[in-house]
Structure 1
């Protein structure tokens, strides 16, 4: 039986942990290796892999401790409220993260591009026109094809919208204490997320090898891959989170009244869905 039936009357304070500093070290290795990878350092892919594996091991231990504390009945109402506020602020920070990239795309299209085609720039680039996507005023970007909304982006939109429905059904089933039904619909949500990632990987292969559209393809290529790539990373992380929730449901964790671990993952997944709708309209259609 889930330990969450026992609601602690005090505010639980965990013991000092080594996990924050280990996670920070892993993230530092990952980011430094990614920068080196982009700049062609031969060893960077290996250090990136080491950093990623190290971070995953740290998160596994950290999450296992948190789950053990929850199932041990240490988390009362105060801790539950704290987790809800923490998840809300985390999602807000993610909103701001994507807002920065959407803002960069908006600025490039609506301000920078018209300025480069203005009268004061005609002496430098007389043949440049403010047409999106652009090869740049100096012609230094190789010609590339653009990514339209059909068929893969539209299929991925249908997949994510469907996953929003399936995870909601799973949540209602968990609240009704229908564990088998909740596990089925959550598993279906995970399958939809994995399928989305598979389609996105195929889309990237098509862009690089058939359209010659790369991260170096000017402002269009850089904003396209940054927006869709970071979103794909969030889908991957959301899929991992939902997979952990599925394992916990199968192990008998959660109760109809206490299941914020599941709720937090569901909030994150709905956030990923909403961001994709913005990407689908702004990046693929406009």
Structure 2
């Protein structure tokens, strides 16, 4: 018969961490809104709302303050969770709830990227061709260009003439994007190899596998930064490059953000592995990060196919 300690569900004491993180989120979000509102400019550099320009500076500091609060509270909160795990507070029911929670979280991330991919498909397949198919005598969209990649409306729209940027070029599937694909696919293999090492209680294999995965993730981010610099300075591809530029940076940028978060999570797990925190029987902290990293790999394959290749 199972003992009481194996059947109970651990409930921690009340904590102030959620309230403080809420304050940090509110401060960071409000600061972002103030900063965008106060620094919103036209193409010629002039302010669209000069009366609100005073919001930019305090908004920037609110963002920094909110981010600092969130990071500090995350460190403190997660440290408490690690302590609870190491002291044997988590049994099978806690492990099960953690797994369900991680699955729900990844499902929410799937929905997040599905919305972005949906926006790409809607603009590429429906909105851009439809605007170009309207008869000029019944629509203000005259000579609208339906070509994809679309860097803007082209022709005359609502009485204003748009001229395509001659320096604009869409991002190729070869070069850095192909290298990044190989990097992420390799990182999926290295973290799986590390997991095998943990299951076999081979600490050396676990630590080396995690280190290689972290190195591949950081290399991916460096390559993406170089890709963005090349796009802005030599290809005329920016956030203002019409529907293509907006969707390209929206999808790849948010994926890069997820790679950054995943790399930070891997570093934490790597340091914990060096300290011997995981065992072959109990290592959901490792598994949760591995699930997240594989999710990031799969999303990138979708990006590579639908954004770069097609």
TM-score bracket, shorter-length normalisation: over 0.9
Query: Among 124, 131, 134, which residue is 1:119 paired with?
Result: 134
Name structure 1 gaps, 5 residues minimum: 1-6
Question: In structure 2, what is the Cα distance between the partners aligned to 1:8 and 1:267?
Answer: 26
Query: How far apart are residue 114 of structure 1 and its match?
Result: 1.2
Query: Among 196, 207, 219, which residue is 1:172 paired with?
Result: 196
Count of aligned pairs: 280
User: TM-score normalised to the size of structure 1?
Assistant: 0.93
Q: Which structure has the higher relative contact order (CA within 8 Å, separation 6+)?
A: 1
Which has the higher mean CA deviation after the structures are superposed, 61-70 or 142-151? 142-151
Which has the higher mean CA deviation after the structures are superposed, 23-32 or 271-280? 23-32
Match of 1:226 in 2: 250
Judged with a 3 Å threshold, the aligned counterparts in structure 2 of structure 1 residues 192 and 145 are, in CA distance, closer, same or farther, namely same
Q: Is the 8 A contact 2:145 2:153 kept in 1?
A: no
Question: In structure 2, what is the Cα distance between the partners aligned to 1:48 and 1:27?
Answer: 9
Query: How far apart are residue 142 of structure 1 and its match?
Result: 5.7
Name structure 2 gaps, 5 residues minimum: 40-55
Q: Is the 8 A contact 1:238 1:269 kept in 2?
A: yes
Q: Which has the larger radius of gyration?
A: 2
Query: How far apart are residue 26 of structure 1 and its match?
Result: 1.8
1:1-286 correspondence runs (5 A): 8-39=6-37, 40=39, 41-121=56-136, 123-134=139-150, 135-137=152-154, 138=157, 139-140=161-162, 143=165, 144-286=168-310
Judged with a 3 Å threshold, the aligned counterparts in structure 2 of structure 1 residues 54 and 83 are, in CA distance, closer, same or farther, namely same
Question: In structure 2, what is the Cα distance between the partners aligned to 1:38 and 1:279?
Answer: 28
Query: How far apart are residue 208 of structure 1 and its match?
Result: 1.7
Question: In structure 2, what is the Cα distance between the partners aligned to 1:149 and 1:133?
Answer: 14
